[in-house]
Amino acid sequence: MTSLLRISDLHVSVGETPILRGVNMEIRQGEVHALMGPNGSGKSTLAYALAGHPNYTVTEGSIEIDGVNVTEMEADARARLGMFLAFQYPVVIPGVKVADFLRHAVSNIRNPDRREGEGLIGMREFRKEIRDRMTELGMDQEFARRYLNDGFSGGEKKRMEILQLAMLQPRFAILDETDSGLDSDAVRVVSEGLARLSGPQMGVLIITHHERLLEFNTPQFVHVMLGGRIVETGSSTLAHELHANGYADIRARHPAAAAQNSTAEATPV
Amino acid sequence: MSTDAPSKSDVEIGDYKYGFHDSTDFYAFKSRKGLDAEIVSQISGMKKEPPWMREFRLKSLEIFESRPMPNWGGDMSDLKFDNIYYYMKAASEQGKSWDDVPEDIRRTYDRLGIPEAEKKYLAGVKAQYESEVVYGSLRQDLARQGVIFTDTDSALQQHPELFREYFGTVIPPGDNKFAALNSAVWSGGSFIYVPKGVKIDFPLQAYFRINSQNMGQFERTLIIVDEGASVHYVEGCTAPTYSSDSLHSAVVEIIVKRGARCRYTTIQNWSNNVYNLVTKRAMAYGDSLMEWIDGNLGSRLTMKYPAIWLMEPGARGETLSIAFAGKGQHQDAGAKMVHCAPNTSSRIISKSISRSGGRSSYRGLVKVQKDAINCRSNVVCDALILDPASRSDTYPYIEVEEQNVAIEHEASVSKIAEEQLFYLMSRGLTEAEASAMIVTGFVEPLVRELPMEYAVELNRLIELQMEGSVG
């Protein structure tokens, strides 16, 4: 059975401020979707709301995975159902080694019924797996022993997100501006890495301002967000148009949504 | 997050999971409650001490009685000195070997895993049970090198001259009210002498326990590291939980001579009713290194500021301390560095965690005396506050009487760490697992300095505190 992530009439507020005003989207395993839109349109808010950030309150609508309503679920429960968010701003966790963290995460994701304190997956198989994935992503083996994102460069942090994606093998991966702040070589590494990882088992939502990440990951669907709504959906040619012409035409076609578009970019609160 | 809401399985810091206590019926001797000259004389008499020690104790009692209670630090209004037993003797004779240790006590130690730890790599296990050391051993080759590692009472009897030369020289009874109290009623503790040039390359360890209601413990530890020698002493405490208050007031004196090194590691995990009021001080001489590694969990109130006096040029002092304050607990901990000579350096790293309404305070002093030029001192304080009900304070005192010095102080407070929690939870970790991981990472700089079994135990304790603490 092909899994389905269904977003229905989703309204999300941060504090008292409404950001999303009725988002609808369906992502199936194996599909690649791109989400574009100007700053402040609500792209990152959608990403955080899907992952279950406690400060992003769903006021209307629902998020379902294979018919299971996950709207009220904590982030960890959603992760166990196959949701994954590659963060735009990965968080630093001092003193926690990448390998220790990932072994714990992998154990929970692969064994969703695991209880706190129960055994983790075998050290030997885990080590081999993380070594192989790091090699594929061109990462230094030293990464596994470093503290999670602590002292990482921008490119290293993004690669770390892709490594987690590779290890956790989610059914639905949301990439929130994974290409931002990277030079073109780094974008290519990340883009190729994603292309290798995604396949028939993974539904992907790529949030981006640019086209570069889409180069190796051609989307079947391109959505344009404005003022907290999806105002247009098209094929990959829409991405090319937006890249060439910017959002002026979109704003002109959707003046009401344009008027509601916040000027501030959503950042973690 | 709803960490401030108590849950049914809430586990408090200091509720030691392996907590238990044995029957106290076997006490060979128990003084009456309260404190006066008669009891002090009785303690000295029971121990068959020389007259000078009896006089020392009685003079200390006078100082204790003449001093007011400190009006800073924590709340001690519930501490009733008249309601405490100042001396108890758990067994009539000191155990000569494991088989001689009374069954009751042996069972306790079995559960603590002491003999097993000893088998692994410990040199000497000295276990303090109540006020008296009942079991101790020391590896033969250490003894051959002239190392003395014994309980402090035995040291007074067996090494009277060495003992008298140093005892009370680092922390005189007049230092503070609780040092005076300890000087009056001290019992047990460790005595270590490491001769010139002897380097002990494995940690010496001691286990301490409090096991009786209303029972005060007043250990007295004296460590002398002679020129060019080195030692790492490790002390850990576990305590069962009791309903009424208990006082622990230790004194630790250390002398680190020229070119010597001493590291003193403590992990204390008192039950939630214990007042833990400790005076620790080291004198570090030329080109020596003194390190305090100090972990404080549990207790109702801990006031502890390990001090290092840098007496001669080239002396270095380091203190790494961590405090974990849970519900109803106040950890008032820190460090003192006194630069008495030029070209001395010190470093203080303090980390505290507060949760479930607990309060932790960093209280530290860096002092540079006149003419102590070219001194360097670096102080770093990090506080992690896990919920809005909890509290953290920083009281850094800096007294500098010399111009040409470099003093750095950094302090940071991390709240709740909500973004860290979300990040880890979005990878499938539960809130409790994520909290434990964040806290474990926060204390990692201290834990990696600990001997393996302490590191494992401390990490396990943190996991236990976090499980069921949220939700």
Please compute the mean of the pLDDT values over residues B94-103 and round it to a whole number: 50
What is the total residue count of chain B? 471
Given a cut of 90, whether residue B343 has pLDDT beyond it is: yes
In chain B, the residue whose alpha carbon lies closest to the alpha carbon of A94 is B441
Neighboring chain A residues of B444 at a CB cutoff of 8 Å: 94-96
Given a cut of 50, whether residue B120 has pLDDT beyond it is: no
Amino acid at A8: S
CB contact under 8 A, B444 and A94: yes
The interface residues of chain B toward chain A in range 7-26, judged by CB-CB distance below 8 A, are none
Contact predicate B255/B283, CB 8 Å:
yes
In chain B, the residue whose alpha carbon lies closest to the alpha carbon of A174 is B426
Given a cut of 90, whether residue A105 has pLDDT beyond it is: yes
The token pair at B233 is 């002493």
Contact predicate A147/A182, CB 8 Å:
no
CB contact under 8 A, A75 and B1: no
In chain B, the residue whose alpha carbon lies closest to the alpha carbon of A81 is B428
Distance (Å) from the alpha carbon of A19 to chain B's nearest alpha carbon: 20
Closest Cβ–Cβ partner in A83, A93, A109 for B438 = A93
Please compute the mean of the pLDDT values over residues B180-206 and round it to a whole number: 90
Neighboring chain B residues of A80 at a CB cutoff of 8 Å: 428
Burial degree of B178 (CB within 10 A; 0-12, 13-18, 19+): buried
The token pair at A134 is 């790091």
CB contact under 8 A, B425 and A91: no
CB contact under 8 A, A93 and B418: no
What is the pLDDT, as a whole number, of residue B12?
A: 37
Neighboring chain B residues of A108 at a CB cutoff of 8 Å: 427-430, 433
Least-confidence region, from A78-82, B28-32, B376-380: B28-32
CB contact under 8 A, A76 and B428: yes
Nearest to B373 by CA among B412, B326, B406: B406
- Confidence grade of residue B215 (pLDDT, cut at 50, 70, 90): very low
CB contact under 8 A, A76 and B423: no
CB contact under 8 A, A76 and B429: yes
Q: What is the pLDDT of residues A155-195, one digit of tens each?
A: 899 999 999 999 999 999 999 998 887 888 888 888 888 89
Closest Cβ–Cβ partner in B422, B433, B441 for A75 = B422
- Confidence grade of residue B202 (pLDDT, cut at 50, 70, 90): confident
- A–B CB contacts, 8 A cutoff, strictly below: 89
What is the pLDDT, as a whole number, of residue B124?
A: 32
* Integer Cα distance of B138 and B204 in angstroms: 9
**Regarding beta strands B204-209 and B190-194, do their DSSP bridges make them parallel or antiparallel, or are they unpaired?**
unpaired
Angstrom CA distances, B237 to B79, B186, B216, B446, stand at: 21, 18, 14, 17
What is the pLDDT, as a whole number, of residue B7?
A: 38
Q: Residue A39's beta-bridge partner residues? A: none
Closest Cβ–Cβ partner in A51, A96, A116 for B467 = A116
SS3 state at A87: coil
Question: Dihedral of CA B391/B392/B397/B398: which sign?
Answer: negative
In chain A, the residue whose alpha carbon lies closest to the alpha carbon of B464 is A117
Select from A89, A96, A109, A130 the residue whose CB has the most chain B CBs within 10 Å, as the one to mutate to test that interface.
A96
Greater pLDDT, B202 or B435: B435
- Confidence grade of residue B457 (pLDDT, cut at 50, 70, 90): low
A200 touches chain B (CB under 8 A): no
Given a cut of 60, whether residue B323 has pLDDT beyond it is: yes
Least-confidence region, from A108-117, A197-206, B410-419: B410-419
What is the pLDDT, as a whole number, of residue A124?
A: 92
Select from B416, B426, B442, B450 the residue whose CB has the most chain A CBs within 10 Å, as the one to mutate to test that interface.
B426
Average pLDDT, chain B: 79
CB contact under 8 A, B444 and A93: no
* Integer Cα distance of B295 and B353 in angstroms: 11
Give this prediction's pTM. 0.76
A52 touches chain B (CB under 8 A): yes
A94 touches chain B (CB under 8 A): yes
Q: What is the pLDDT of residues B149-182, one digit of tens each?
A: 888 888 999 999 999 999 999 999 999 999 999 9
* Integer Cα distance of A67 and A235 in angstroms: 26
- Confidence grade of residue A212 (pLDDT, cut at 50, 70, 90): confident
What is the pLDDT, as a whole number, of residue B293?
A: 92
